[in-house]
Structure 1
Amino acid sequence: MTIERINPGSLAPPGGHHSHAVVAGGLVFISGQLPITPSGEKLNQSPFEDQARQVLANVQAALEAAGSNVAQLVQVRVYVTDMDQWPVFNRIYQPWAGAAPPARAVVPVPLLHHGFAIEVEAVAALQSLPKQ
């Protein structure tokens, strides 16, 4: 099986020892995305809504760089530090995920790296060959 690691220029370089996306077996695995802008600005002091939008934009950028898209999502895992933000996230997520939402889990966690309020990881079907 061929495994391809994807780190698109449309995202800040990974802050740890990981790739933003890995393509294997016809699937795209998106590493946990944090609210970090493409220029590397950490939005840990920004409102939850801004953090959620940035995280989803990062997931989408990683998917597209790997040859997939939001419509191909199979599963999404959302980690939040405040479950009271779940309705806010749903309001942002619903139009982003579209008419055929993937399987999803929302997991409360006590804290995330750099004090972020949200992290999202995902798995999608591969739509085409990765673009480097």
Structure 2
Amino acid sequence: MSIKRIEQNNRMSQASQNGNLLILAGQVADGATITEQSKGLFKNIDALLAKAGTDKSKIIYANIYLTDMDNYEAFNKVWDEWVASDKGQVPSRAALQVARLAKPEWLVEVQLFAGV
């Protein structure tokens, strides 16, 4: 079975698909607040899922990396508005605090697995 790469460059692919499994690289976004960054990265995720022919209702699992757990509730507010709970499709997930992300201004990164 061949692996399909989405938005690939010399270093990485934003998404990789093998059969019915899609794995997204960690997604981040610019913004001054956790809310702005969360909304931006969910927009990125929606676009990548669409390129793979799927959507957020097919998300199986998400890893959420926060640089400060004090941002957890603000992140969850955006997550709750975005996730496909209206379709009964709330994925499994984990939320972890990390020392920092690749750029010090990033407050949150989300990586996920989805069905296609």
- Residue 3 of structure 1 corresponds to 3
The runs of at least 4 consecutive aligned structure 1 residues that moved more than 2 Å come to none
Q: Which of the residues 103, 120, 124 maps onto 2:114?
A: 124
- Residue 55 of structure 2 corresponds to 69
Unaligned runs of 5+ in 2: none
Q: 1:25: how far off?
A: 2.4
Question: SS at the partner of 1:114?
Answer: coil
- Residue 91 of structure 1 corresponds to 77
- Residue 105 of structure 1 corresponds to 94
Q: 1:67: how far off?
A: 1.2
CA distance in 2, matches of 1:31, 1:123: 9
Is 1:59 aligned to 2:45, yes or no? Answer: yes
In the alignment, residue 60 of structure 1 is paired with which amino acid? D
CA RMSD of aligned residues (A): 1.5
In the alignment, residue 19 of structure 1 is paired with which amino acid? S
In the alignment, residue 84 of structure 2 is paired with which amino acid? G
Question: SS at the partner of 1:17?
Answer: coil
Q: Which of the residues 62, 65, 75 maps onto 1:79?
A: 65
CA distance in 2, matches of 1:64, 1:76: 17
CA distance in 1, matches of 2:35, 2:81: 14
Q: If the length of structure 1 is used for normalisation, what is the TM-score?
A: 0.80
In the alignment, residue 110 of structure 1 is paired with which amino acid? A
CA distance in 1, matches of 2:2, 2:96: 31
Is 1:47 aligned to 2:33, yes or no? Answer: yes
Q: 1:34: how far off?
A: 1.2
Kept after mapping to 2: 8 A contact 1:28/1:68 = no
Unaligned runs of 5+ in 1: 8-12, 36-42, 127-132
CA distance in 1, matches of 2:16, 2:63: 16
CA distance in 2, matches of 1:68, 1:2: 18
The structure that is strand-richer by fraction is: 2
Question: SS at the partner of 2:96?
Answer: strand
